[in-house]
Structure 1
Amino acid sequence: SHMLTHNLICSNSLRKQGQVVAFRGRKDTDVKAFIVRLNEYLPKDIVIVDGRLAPLSFHPRHSSREKHYRYTIHNHPTRTVLGRKLVWHVKEALDIQAMQRAASLLEGTHDFTSFCAPDKSPASRRERAAEKKN
């Protein structure tokens, strides 16, 4: 099995970086050559930047150890043209202190069991930890 990482995937104006996908292939596949060839067929806004062999048990979603989310607000009377799909445009003044107070509530470890779909495995992790990044 191979693991490939996508640099960018755009979906409904949501931009994702570092997406991981997996596919089964032959162990003797030249991963670098495969990436070059596969990128020739992908849309211009999707590119594979890395690939590695992974165990057959690897699953892109279930094997991940952490995820990072970044939300960017363009707070200005006029919208931005560059990066317009990467930011949320807000014309009005922001209450930064209120935003920081709200964000602090997300820090720490929280149980999101009520938001999860029923899972076959009772041992599945339903807690998430959020930490402050500057």
Structure 2
Amino acid sequence: MAFVNEYIQEADYEKYDLRRICGEHNLPSQRGHMYSRSWTVDRETDAFLIQVWSHHESRFEGWAFYWKGEWTFFEMTGMGGGGMRPDGKCWYGYRIKGFTVPLQLESRRVEIVADLERALGDYCGGGVFSTYKQGTATVEFVEE
């Protein structure tokens, strides 16, 4: 199944304890504040991508990827993209730093990264605000 961009339902805030967890990973001056009201989610695989913080003075933004019960927090910036490919999908490039796979899931790293790339592709550069419905993403992982 594909990831979809949607507004977060109240039941999901509670199910994943989003207000607390995302609030704890916001910028120090905004701790406790829930930044996003939307996400890119695949309910079938129990995975989602959510923005945790943004600051106009930072080139990167804070994000989280939840995958089958495990959270990964990282920073990400766009490297361009958009537009429609011949197959009707949008395309975007992202640079990610600080992404680590939880130790207990290291054997599934390839699958987790593939799902993250799928989520970023379907995020289409804007989530619920994107005019595209499906896409692909190129991800470059960088050192801090």
More helix by share: 2
- Check whether TM > 0.5: no
Please state which structure has a larger fraction of its residues in strand.
Answer: 2
With the shorter chain as reference, the TM-score category is under 0.3
TM-score by length of 1: 0.26
Larger Rg: 1
